[in-house]
Structure 1
Amino acid sequence: MMEPLVGSLRERATSSCSCRTLQSWFPVLSWLPHYNLRWLQMDLVAGLTVGLTTVPQALAYAEVAGLPVQYGLYSAFMGCFIYCVFGTSKDVTLGPTAIMSLLCASYMGSDPVYAVLLSFLCGSIQAAMAILRLGFLLDFISYPVIKGFTCAAAITIGFGQVKNIFGLKNIPQQFVLQVYYTFHRIPEARLGDVVLGLSCLALLVSLTWMKTDLVSPSPEHPTYVKVAHGLVWGCATIRNVLVVIMASCVAFSFEISNHHYFTLTGQTAKGLPPFKPPAFSETKANGTIIYFKEIVLDLGGGLAVIPLMGLLESIAISKAFGSQNGYRIDTNQELFAIGLTNIMGSFVSAYPVTGSFGRTAVNSQTGVCTPAGGVVTGVIVLLSLAFLMPVFYYIPKASLAAVIICAVAPMADWRAPLQLWRVRKLDLLPFMVTFLVSFWEVQYGIVGGVLVSGAMLLYHMARPHIEVHDHGVLVMDLDSGLNFPATEHLNQVIYSQALHVSPPRCVVLNCHHISSVDCTVVHELKDLLKQFRLRNVSLVFSGLKNSVLEVLLAGDLPGLKYTDSIETALQILSDFHGAFQPTNED
């Protein structure tokens, strides 16, 4: 008795410790044994390029989140190292993004303690979702909702930086008030910030267009042409860091001559963040202590919205680049990598992060071969924290604003509503609800869009289209499954066309598309069959799947008749009801 049990346990233990299982939990083991010098060269180039893109963007996105700029860098390196071990995409880079920064800003109120604890809690939720295999929840956020949110977020984030281009202060965060007070206070704009900000924007746009229109040289071109192409491509790729460096040099030269024309980033914390657990309470300046329960209540819906949107953004990016570059990702493993990144990031004062589309695109375009490129990116961020923090004092806020505006501009996809209109006009409804409500509060926009999409889905389930064909008896085709919300609609159609007419008519119900039924459906069908029997006519089910037939038989339906095909059903009714005369009507 014990021997089979011991053998079974031994087999399970062997299976759980197999090479394939270890590789599924630690994807680094699938590529590290094959690592070679060529991969190292490509990963070094890609990691360096992405690192030079990450540093200025991280500083800028901390501004969007309402946090001191160093928190952007605190959030930018942990994901590089963790994803190298646990990630399944060679291209994805984890770190602060514009959308996550905007979402976090609406919940944590520019409070670093809230930001770090939010990272820990979101990471715990995401990791738990991965372990429980709950990634399917992301399927309930439809494409129109995603596009409506990203378009609104791009406009909200982009316009939110106009105040820094103009050097304005004390502008409200709420979008409508932000628009009003920004235009109202334009006469207070600082000339230095305006000139520098617009110059940075023009330079970034020019470099972006230059990279877009750049044609790759052919093998026949001379070496100097290839070198020139590589130089232009490299400068255009790291345009963010070049613009920030040049703007900082301009600001520094004016500051040392005692001319304060620009609004600067200002004092930042020096060095690497201490490695410590996140604080689960906070003591305010007046001595008031805010305990963990109160913080959780303050974060509220953010503990649902931020983890889900972080997962959605990163999974969408990894799937897109996996499809483009010919590999597949493990969705639940990606969830685990993101969750673990946010948990460990909270120990180095990070706020919630996710996959970055822009930096992932740079990573892919520079030919990264493995996730090891992220290690190089992480090292660059750490070196910046260790040695360059005093230099960040002189970064003009107008230059960071220009970086953010250019980064989020492609997210405002004006073709999306036109595409939705051409494909399915009704999908514009969740898009518009999400888009418009997001200007009030982004989290409400997402929730509103999901609710509208869910209502549309439920309506389709409750009101399936039923085609009725007259062959002397009525043949009814359901174009989708039969769920309990749809039974009332089915009853109405059958009663109006078969039972409440004189004389009553027989019905063949084509069940080809029905894959499952529940107790409610069985109960309604039992009443329906009783009404058919009282009127001395028949209801025949055609094309039932075995699983559905088993449920109906278990429900002990009185007078249940079923056939494999419509033709057989028509023949049965012809035999039972001699008045049946076939017609050619359809």
Structure 2
Amino acid sequence: MASKHTELSDVHGADIRTSSFRDDEENAFAHKVQVPAHIPLVREFEDAVKEVFFPDDPLRKFRNQTPTKKYLLGLFYVFPIFEWMSTYKLQYLKDDLIAGLTIASLAVPQDLGYAKLANLQPIDGLYGSFVPPLIYAVLGSSRHIAIGPVAVVSILLGTLLRHEVNPTNTALYFKLALTSTFFAGVFQAGLGLLRLGFIIDFLSHAAIVGFMAGAAITIGLQQLKGLLGIKNFTTKTDFISVMRSVWRNTHQWSRYSILIGLFFLAFLLITKYIGKRKKKLFWVAALAPLTSVILATAFVRVTHLEKHGVQIVGHIHKGVNPSSIHQLEFSGSLVSKAVRIGLITGLVALTEAIAIGRTFAALEDYQLDGNKEMIALGIMNIIGSCTSCFITTGSFSRSAVNYNAGVKTAISNIVMSIAVLVTLVALTPLFKYTPNCILAVIIISAVISLIDVRAAYLIWKVDKLDFLACMGAFLGVFFISVEIGLLIAVGISLAKVLLHVTRPHTAILGNIPGTNIYRNIQQYPDASRVPGILVIRIDSSIYFSNSNYIRERVVRWVNDEDDRIGNSKGVALQFVILELSPVMSIDTTGIMALEELCRTLQKRKIQLALANPGAQVMEKFHAAKFIELLGDEWFFLTVGEAVHVCSRQLNSSFEN
């Protein structure tokens, strides 16, 4: 029976005829696949700019507002502190004070150790927990992130700096560290302003898990220098070099350092275990590092073990962050080095901070604007570089303590900053006799939590390619260096993306019995093929990078179907229907590939039909005159309609 066709005149003047799903006798109605209305080029450009550079939420809030209201909304958007302070409740203060003092007690000993990871002076670590947290409290939108130096970024910074400048040249080394921090902030703020935060998503979760685990072990191995009391230690970070340095310097091992270190390492691990088992006792684990420093320092001071091989921190001068604007270098050979180091460390710092922020935002059910966070972190590091701070970001361990302490707002960062200020002004001389071994074990206990075996196992179960990225990053950091491991992580993640882009998934669809639904026959074994018709779904946009593969894959499906029909002596293949609903876009090369596919099938007396092409796809089909080539009657709204029309033509040919 002939199908009913309705001719349409779209906004371009093209006539597109579409087939009705039912016979004329069955309340026929026309389903129309239309070309969307033409959008002027200027309008398209404006929409693209808005989508890229302007967040939707603020724009929506600004609509239909008075000038005063718009000013306040703009102020709240740029400075989130004014927004949450306007609704701040006095009962929040107790929780924020407790959280701030708790993370300060954790920050002080960690900062002393993390500065050593970057081959900088211990005081530089404390500087990083004074000014940057204040800046973030004003500009940042996360309630839970605790700001300061972190282990992974510190060792990465130290490794990259050491490749360019010998740490013994302290003045030049410090200049490069500050300049690198400045450029890290510029990159971070720039990515946020341009709304290019998607760049950090190229570091997949699997790559981050592997990178963090490798970095944690590398950082832990580096602490063997302080734990064992070795003076001449390797500057390399890979496992083989570190272990070789350890065993070649057994004569430098200090038994007192080892005993002190192991005792307090056991103490820290036990308190951490208690804090994990009983969430209300989180403060036990949080106060343990500072308690360890106080007890170990007092013990060394009383026993004078510094005279028996126990290395100590030494004198730390008092005072707040000095200005370091004059230390920044914007000319000469240091600039290119600082730009490269700043880019790498800045991206890693961003990745860590955004991951932390998103994690706690999800737990507390609020939204975190990633681009606004990048601006806050970037400005924080730019100002930090002008106040003697090396690169800082959100800390996993401190943020977790902050969360468990019941923090309500970013006031906790301000409280921590004030506590560190008091330490800088009055308490730094007390750390003179702090043994290096205690700082080493504090770092070891802190980075252990970065090794997530359960996450790695889950990645292995879910996706083997993801696990390859995870292990590539881990082994790269473990056996080569931190920066090489990072490059491997990014490289494997990009390779995986390219693999999926260039080799997209396609599937044969079959009819679910008793319905008009068509699904993947591998996923639904009861789905039946339609005799004489092959339905293929393309699960990707069609671009120059994958168009030839898609064309060849469809031809292979056709060849396989011919072989199957030949073996079963079934109905010869006469129609190929492509389900295009997942195809969001197509380029010129993609259209040319479909044209070639159409001609190839025509030579084999097989008709090509397309089901449910999207708006952008139809617009490009129209512009390329592909609709005229294929024939407007072979465009269908659904697979069911396409199969219905093709089946009727098959029946008609049999009758004839």
**TM-score, normalising length from structure 1?**
0.88
Which residue number corresponds to residue 139 of structure 2? 86
The 2-side partners of 1:580 and 1:422 are apart by: 50
The 1-side partners of 2:379 and 2:591 are apart by: 46
Are 1:524 and 2:593 matched, yes or no? yes
**Aligned residue identity for 2:297:** S
Q: How far 1:546 sits from its partner (Å)?
A: 2.3
* Contact kept in structure 1, 2:300 and 2:306, CA below 8 Å: no
Q: Which runs of 5+ in 1 are unaligned?
A: 1-8, 217-231, 282-290
Which is further off, 378-387 or 417-426? 417-426
The 2-side partners of 1:396 and 1:374 are apart by: 28
Are 1:133 and 2:195 matched, yes or no? yes
**Aligned residue identity for 1:272:** V
Give the structure, 1 or 2, with the largest relative contact order (CA under 8 Å, sep 6 or more). Answer: 1
Structure 1 residues 477 and 377, CA, compared in 2 at 3 Å: closer, same or farther?
same
Which residue number corresponds to residue 507 of structure 1? 576
Are 1:188 and 2:261 matched, yes or no? no
Aligned runs of 1:173-572 on 2, under 5 Å?
A: 173-174=235-236, 175=238, 176-214=240-278, 234-255=283-304, 259-277=307-325, 279-281=327-329, 292-299=331-338, 301-439=340-478, 440-468=480-508, 469=529, 471-498=531-558, 505-557=574-626, 558-560=629-631, 561-572=634-645
The 1-side partners of 2:582 and 2:625 are apart by: 22
**Aligned residue identity for 1:210:** I
Task: Note the alpha carbon deviations across 1:22-65, whole angstroms, 9 max, x for none.
Answer: 21111111121223332222222211111111111100100111
**Aligned residue identity for 1:195:** L
Identity over aligned pairs, percent? 30
Task: Note the alpha carbon deviations across 1:91-121, whole angstroms, 9 max, x for none.
Answer: 1111100011011011122421111111111
Aligned runs of 1:94-173 on 2, under 5 Å?
A: 94-109=147-162, 110=167, 111-173=173-235
Structure 1 residues 475 and 212, CA, compared in 2 at 3 Å: closer, same or farther?
closer
**Aligned residue identity for 1:312:** T
Q: How far 1:524 sits from its partner (Å)?
A: 1.6
Q: How far 1:490 sits from its partner (Å)?
A: 2.1
**Aligned residue identity for 2:322:** P
CA RMSD of the aligned region, Å?
2.6
**Aligned residue identity for 2:428:** M
The 1-side partners of 2:640 and 2:417 are apart by: 68
**Aligned residue identity for 1:566:** V
Structure 1 residues 398 and 472, CA, compared in 2 at 3 Å: closer, same or farther?
same
Structure 1 residues 32 and 521, CA, compared in 2 at 3 Å: closer, same or farther?
same
* Contact kept in structure 1, 2:181 and 2:342, CA below 8 Å: no
The 2-side partners of 1:82 and 1:543 are apart by: 51
Kindly tell me the number of residue pairs found equivalent between the two proteins.
Answer: 549
Which is further off, 439-448 or 353-362? 439-448
**Aligned residue identity for 1:209:** Y
Structure 1 residues 251 and 292, CA, compared in 2 at 3 Å: closer, same or farther?
farther
The 2-side partners of 1:307 and 1:205 are apart by: 31
**Aligned residue identity for 2:488:** G
Equivalent position SS for 2:428: coil
The 2-side partners of 1:341 and 1:171 are apart by: 34
Equivalent position SS for 2:325: coil
The 2-side partners of 1:537 and 1:364 are apart by: 63
* Contact kept in structure 2, 1:278 and 1:346, CA below 8 Å: no
Structure 1 residues 39 and 432, CA, compared in 2 at 3 Å: closer, same or farther?
same
The 2-side partners of 1:302 and 1:366 are apart by: 35
Structure 1 residues 133 and 16, CA, compared in 2 at 3 Å: closer, same or farther?
farther
Q: How far 1:234 sits from its partner (Å)?
A: 4.1
* Contact kept in structure 2, 1:235 and 1:242, CA below 8 Å: no
Structure 1 residues 366 and 195, CA, compared in 2 at 3 Å: closer, same or farther?
same
Q: How far 1:259 sits from its partner (Å)?
A: 3.7
Structure 1 residues 437 and 15, CA, compared in 2 at 3 Å: closer, same or farther?
farther
Q: How far 1:173 sits from its partner (Å)?
A: 2.5
Which is further off, 331-340 or 487-496? 487-496
Which residue number corresponds to residue 288 of structure 1? none
Equivalent position SS for 1:348: coil
Q: How far 1:313 sits from its partner (Å)?
A: 0.4
**Aligned residue identity for 1:135:** G
Equivalent position SS for 1:352: coil
Which is further off, 330-339 or 500-509? 500-509
Task: Note the alpha carbon deviations across 1:221-259, whole angstroms, 9 max, x for none.
Answer: xxxxxxxxxxx764442111110011111111133x984
Structure 1 residues 506 and 264, CA, compared in 2 at 3 Å: closer, same or farther?
same
